[in-house]
Structure 1
Amino acid sequence: MLRALDIRDILIIDHLELNFQPGLNVLTGETGAGKSILLDSLGFVLGWRGRAELVRQGAAQGEVLAEFDLAEGHPAHAILEEAGLPGGETLILRRVNTAEGRKTAWVNDRRCSGEVLRALSETLVELHGQHDDRGLLNPRGHMALLDQYANVQGLLASVRAAWAGAAKARKTVEATRAALDAVRAEEEFLRHAVGELDKLDPQPGEDEALDTRRRQMQAAERIRGDITRAFGLLSDGAETAMGEALRWLEGVAGQESGTGLEEPLAALSRAMIELGDAQDGVERVLGHLEFNPGDLEDCEERLFAIRGLARKHDVQADDLAGYADTLRGKLAALDAGDQDLADQEAALKAAEAAYAQAAEQLSAARRESAVALDQAVMAELAPLKMERAVFETRISSCAPGPEGSDAVAFTVATNPGAPAGALNKIASGGELSRFLLALKVCLRGEDASKTLIFDEIDRGVGGATADAVGRRLRSLASSGQVLVVTHSPQVAALGGHHWQVRKQVVDGMTLSQVVPLADTERVDELARMVSGDTITEEARAAARALLAG
């Protein structure tokens, strides 16, 4: 509920504080007194598009503050939480417009964007009037209004879930098809590459091992001859000479004592042992250097084959085995893909059937409720002196979506036999106002979370019709809050709270004021609305009669 509105330096308002009440609040005043400025100011603080220049002439900035009471569970709480803004039972919106055109907004003293303001406004206020493109005249919202009237939230949730399930299944099928098509495009390459890799069967680390072996064999060809000659000298020349020397020296030492040959003999014996070790070591090296000349050719051939295949597939030689596994996986996916695709297509078909069934149930509920809504609106039109008009909720098929496969539009025919059409295309100003009121009375239901604002919705009607309009507005306000800008005394008399909008000149400047009216003041205002500028006793008597009901 809108609790208060504080306006500073907006158009012809210097400072205005309004405290609204539950029930039916009426605002009256002469044409041009500034009633529309109140709506412009409220729209500004709610983030609506409006006049480009709002700041009062000579002021540095204009400011509007709106205070709302939020009941527990009000939809605005969810928006505040999602935006990270402070909540509570009171919601205070403040927006400033500088003379240069810069706009800044706050929600509960926290800076916020215009987008957040507009999202909040959708949960706080509904504006209805002859140029209402935000509410009942907007065909894009007709299906949501019908669904609210039909109370099909459960069916709608089922349709949305079924749509999401079908969309997910469709996405899976499309992804699988795309993957299979991509694999099929390279199937010939895959099979050739896998066959080539399987035939070669490269192993991790094999490239390095082959390269080392190749280098050893190449080196062996160069050094084997030298090592063989050295081994021959060690085995034949050195060993024979040392053996002969050892035997001669041992013979001398055995015949004569004190020759001093003990140490040379010991050293020579050790040298014979070291020589033997040297011979064994060189022999082992020669053993390692022995290879078949064809082995080098085979080694080089495999090494070059591995490296050539690595360059061909642009991978490291040690990664060829893993690359082969990847290609085999693609081939396996291709081989199994047709069955997977068939299973996924069957799941998609089932999901689409489930959606179609849920959408048809929702459509049936909408068609049934549309008939009931049409009857309810027609019943409301009769007291509004539009008993010859025809209201019809048209439901047609459209492309399937998360809300079903229906397009909903409210249409009217103002006279029997006349073609039906959109509300704002067929009805005149006064007729349109009454259509909107009748429709809103039927659609209000138990939802009183929003403040309803009717801007001169009674224009073009009077007498009993205006009284019927006022009574329906009062009925709407019985469970919530309704603000009405009106020129009709019959409507104004039914208000629970009455404000008069008036203009006055202060220091040569025209300013707009809004004042709450006491009972006696209210009589005079209603009398003015009945008779014009000259208030007569007859007009006052008529005003009292209207207030008496």
Structure 2
Amino acid sequence: MLTRLAIRDVVLIEALDLDFGPGLATLTGETGAGKSILLDALGLALGARAETGLVRSGAAQASVAASFDLPADHPALAILEEGGLESEPGEPLVIRRQLRADGGSRAFVNDQPASAGLLRALGGTLVEIHGQHDDRGLLNPRGHRALLDAFARSQTGAVLAAHARWKASEEALAQAQAEIESAARDQEWLEHAVAELTKAAPEPGEEASLAEARADMQKGARLAEELSAVSTHLDGSDGALAQLRQATRRLDRIAAEDERLAEALASLDRALVEAGEAEDLLAAAGNAFAFDPTRLETIETRLFDLRALARKHRVEPDDLAALTQELSARLERIEAGGAGIAALAREVKLAREEYVEAAGALSAARTAAAARLDAAVASELAPLKLDSARFRTVVETLPEGQWGPAGRDRVEFEISTNPGAPFAPMMKIASGGELSRFILALKVALAEEGGAGTMIFDEVDRGVGGAVASAIGERLARLAGATQLLVVTHSPQVAARADRHWLIEKRSDGLVARTGVHVLDEAQRREEIARMLSGAEITDEARAQADRLLAA
């Protein structure tokens, strides 16, 4: 629901702040007072084209801000989320648009920059504006199917789910057929590749393990030569250890002769112990580095074979096992392809039959609802001085190529304005006044189905008066029980039905003209309705008639 509209420097409006509430509100005023300016300003906030002519003469820029209170499940909130904009639960939605005199414009939603396209998307869910040149809302055939479904309380979920299953099964069949056709062309190569890979039987991590073992063996071969040379110096009768032991024995015979000799002997003893430990460590290392040349050759052959296979198939060695499984599966699909394709084709046939059944039930519900809607609209036409007109809801089955998740029907509202005249789309054959009344009749018949939270009728009573104007007022009041309704009107019968009444006036100081809007109290409202009844000079008879209208 629209709660507030703030306008600055738009055409003749210098500054204007309007607060709105639920129910029916009317805007009246003399011709040329600027009623259309309010609609232009609201349209600017809702993403309409930014015309520089909207900027008040002498002002640098125009701005409009519109605030809306929305329920938690309002579709506008989903649009905000999809657009990456934040909204606080329970807080109003504020749309603001600025238009510079040089033509540049900026838009904001809750003080976050937004595009005019996003504003238009939001506006479509927030406000319906019905006027003589409106080509949106009820006049757009693209929305007629959804409106009929809402009127019929149709359960479209079964059709949506059946369509998704049907298309998913078709996609699976097409993918399987494409895979089999592609694989069949390479069957000979696949058979050779699978045989080669299966024989090799590669395992994940095998290449790294072989490379590590090979490196260890190569390192052992290199170190073994050095250890052999070291052993030559240490071992044997002429080796360092034998010479050290012989020197120790000789010194032991004379060590008692001198303290220094005894100390030297102790040092030699310690050296013998360390040398013995070194000898043991060298032996252990030699055993660890020992390798079998045949084993090394086997490891190298396996490693080089794996790497060659990986290069051949353009994968990493660790991916060879997965590649074996993948190619084997492709080969199996070729061999069992006929049976698999037949099974998938049966699934497609079954899914299509389920969709046709669900869509047929939905079509029947739409056809029945169309008859009820036609009757409901027909009952509204005569009181609105459209008694020669006819309304119908066309429900046609589309070609199969156009069937979709919403069913297989095309739905469009059509009218015939004169006896014997052919039916045609509403916007193509109705005049401005007739079109507005047709929209009103349809909205009353549809009640609140598919409507935005705020609805605006621009001069729906144009060219009518008396009983017809009263009928329009009664229907607007009835419609306002379900949605917020703003009506620009010249009819006192409509104005008298309002819950709130605004007067739009244009004033001039001789240099500058300004448009203002103010809410009328009961006395002011009586005077305005009397003016609408009598014209420039308000008579007592007009006031009395205004009292009767307000009392009714």
Shorter-chain TM-score: which interval? 0.7 to 0.9
Structure 1 residue identity aligned to 2:64: V
Where does residue 176 of structure 2 map in the other structure? 176
Shift of 1:459: 1.0
Q: Secondary structure of the residue that 1:401 maps to in structure 2? A: coil
Q: Which amino acid aligns with 1:123?
A: T
Q: CA deviation at 1:318?
A: 9.6
Q: What do the CA deviations read for 1:263-312 (whole angstroms, capped 9, x no partner)?
A: xxxxxxxxxxxxxxxxxxxxxxxxx999xxxxx9xxxx999999998776
- The offset of 1:10, in angstroms, is 1.1
Cα distance, 1:201–1:388 mapped onto 2, change above 3 Å: closer
- Residue 166 (structure 1) aligns with: 166
Q: Which amino acid aligns with 1:361?
A: A
After superposition, the Cα gap between the structure-2 partners of 1:331 and 1:64, relative to the gap in structure 1 and judged at 3 Å, is same
User: 1:512 and 1:463 mapped to 2: Cα distance?
Assistant: 30
* Aligned match of 1:221: none
AA matched with 2:329: G
**Which residue identity is paired with 2:496?**
A
Q: Which residue of 2 aligns with 1:487?
A: 490
Question: Which residue identity is paired with 1:404?
Answer: G
| Alignment map for 1:243-282 (pairs within 5 Å) | none
- Which residue number in structure 2 is paired with residue 513 of structure 1? 516
Q: 1:59–1:407: structure 2 CA closer, same or farther, 3 Å change rule?
A: same
* Structure (1 or 2) with the larger CA radius of gyration: 1
Contact 1:128/1:453, CA 8 A, preserved across alignment: yes
SS in 2 for 1:70: coil
Are residues 492 and 191 of structure 1, via their aligned partners in 2, closer, same or farther at CA, if it must alter by over 3 Å? same
Residues 231-280 of structure 1 show CA distances to partners (whole Å, capped at 9, x for unaligned) of: xxxxxxxxxxxxxxxxxxxxxxxxxxxxxxxxxxxxxxxxxxxxxxxxxx
Pairing partner for 2:89 from 61, 84, 87: 87
Q: 2:110: which partner in 1?
A: 108
Decide whether aligned partners of structure 1 residues 529 and 165 sit closer, same or farther in structure 2, where only a CA change above 3 A counts. same
Contact 1:433–1:457 (Cα < 8 Å) also in 2: yes
* C-alpha deviation, 1:325, in angstroms: 5.4
Q: Spell out, residue by residue over 1:332-368, the C-alpha distance to the aligned partner (whole angstroms, 9 max, x if none).
A: 2222333222222222222211111111111111000
Cα-to-partner distance string for 1:27-57 (whole Å, 9 max, x where unaligned) = 1112221111101111111223463542212
* TM-superposed deviation, 1:189: 2.6
2:353 aligned with 1:353:
yes
Q: Using the alignment, how far apart are the partners of 1:24 and 1:377 within structure 2?
A: 21
CA distance 1:540–1:356, shift in 2 (3 Å): same
Deviations 1:102-123 (A, max 9, x none): 3333333344443443333233
Deviations 1:455-490 (A, max 9, x none): 111112111111111110111112332100012222
SS of the equivalent of 1:353 reads helix
- What amino acid sits opposite 1:117 in the alignment? L
C-alpha displacement of 1:192: 4.3
> Deviation per CA, 1:151-181, whole angstroms, max 9, x where unpaired?
11xx211111111121222221121111111
Q: TM-score, normalised by structure 2?
A: 0.75
Pick the aligned partner of 1:440 from 443, 459, 467: 443
> CA offset at residue 141 of structure 1?
0.8
User: How many residues are paired up?
Assistant: 470
Match of 1:437, SS state, is helix
After superposition, the Cα gap between the structure-2 partners of 1:324 and 1:22, relative to the gap in structure 1 and judged at 3 Å, is closer
What one-letter code is carried by the residue in structure 1 that aligns with 2:507? Q
- What residue in structure 2 maps to residue 525 of structure 1? 528
Say if 1:55 and 1:326 are closer, same or farther in 2 by CA, change over 3 A. Answer: same
- What is the alpha-carbon distance in structure 2 between the residues aligned to residue 420 and residue 488 of structure 1? 30
Structure 2, unmatched stretches of 5+, are 215-291
In the alignment, what sits opposite 1:261?
A: none
Contact 2:128 2:456 in 1 (8 A): yes
TM-score normalised to the size of structure 1? Answer: 0.76
Task: Name the amino acid aligned to 1:29.
Answer: G
Cross-structure match for 1:230: none
Once the two structures are TM-superposed, the CA of residue 22 in structure 1 deviates from its matched residue by 2.1
Relative to structure 1, the CA distance from residue 471 to residue 358 in structure 2 (aligned partners, 3 Å threshold; closer, same or farther) is: same
The answer on whether the counterparts of 2:448 and 2:483 sit within 8 Å (CA) in structure 1 is no
Contact 1:85 1:110 in 2 (8 A): no
**How far apart are residue 524 of structure 1 and its match?**
3.1
Match of residue 67 from structure 1 = 67
For structure 1, the 5+ residue unaligned runs are: 213-287, 291-295
Q: Residue 123 of structure 2 aligns with which residue?
A: 121
2:243 match: none
Structure 1 contact 429–460 (Cα < 8 Å) conserved: no
Residues 97, 106 of structure 2: 8 Å contact kept: yes
Match runs of 1:261-340 below 5 Å: 326-340=326-340
Matched letter for residue 402 of structure 1: P
Read off the aligned partner of 1:61 and give its amino acid letter. Q
- Per the TM alignment, residue 421 of structure 1 is displaced from its structure 2 partner at its CA by 0.8
Match of 2:156, SS?
Answer: helix
| Cα distance in 2, alignment partners of residues 367 and 101 from structure 1 | 49
Distance 1:542 1:120 in 2: 42
Separation in 1 of the partners of 2:44 and 2:456?
Answer: 15
Distance 2:111 2:199 in 1: 75
